[in-house]
Amino acid sequence: MPKRTAAPKKPLRTAYARAKIINERLAEHYPDAHCALNFENPLQLLVATILSAQCTDVMVNKVSPTLFKRCPTAQKLAAIDDAELQEIIRPTGFYRNKAKSIKAAAKLIVEKYNGKVPGTLDELVQLPGVARKTANVVLGECFDTPGITVDTHVGRLSRRMGFTNQEDPVKVERDLHALIPQEDWTIFSHRMIWHGRQICIARKPKCDVCPLADVCPKIGAEA
């Protein structure tokens, strides 16, 4: 008599069901999650997000008040001397490239949008230094347009939680769109970022204290 093989185990939960549970638990665990960058208007958030590349939000929040006081409008940002701008933002790193992007974006905002930051994804991603990540941050915080911001934390956690197997942020964003209700896109991003910084750390996630431990497949996490 041939030996019987065990039936393959079915996944504990589908990605859709898992996403629903994780979204709900993140909401319970991080009720105060919000954008960590300090800003008062769309222009300030746009600039702060550009500065945040390869830099901590804490450092950006230390540097940005000086810049915003010196250049409160897109017109002044577009006209500031290159050397002065670079010196102000130097602590954020990659300051030459960031200064170039900020000035070029400000010039286009002045020339094409009368000094006001545009409020659509298609318009924002045409600005120098602005990709979908920055655009979604600005849209979600300043224009009440839901968007998923795929930074390193959101991308890493999404793969670890089995929401995607993609590395490209645009493809990760697309996969998350299919799993997370649109009205939650913006706040879901903030909660994932907070979770990635506090518990689901890249090198050594704190799975023993994680509120998602029983539903997360922990893909790529060391045992």
Residues with active-site annotation: 133, 151
- DSSP class of residue 209 equals G
CA–CA gap between residue 146 and residue 138 (Å, rounded): 10
> Could you count the other beta carbons within 10 Å of the beta carbon of residue 93?
14
Residues constituting the chain: 223
User: How many CA atoms lie less than 13 Å away from 189 in the CB half-sphere?
Assistant: 26
Helix ranges (H only) for the chain are 15-29, 42-51, 57-70, 74-79, 82-89, 95-113, 121-124, 132-142, 152-160, 169-177, 185-198
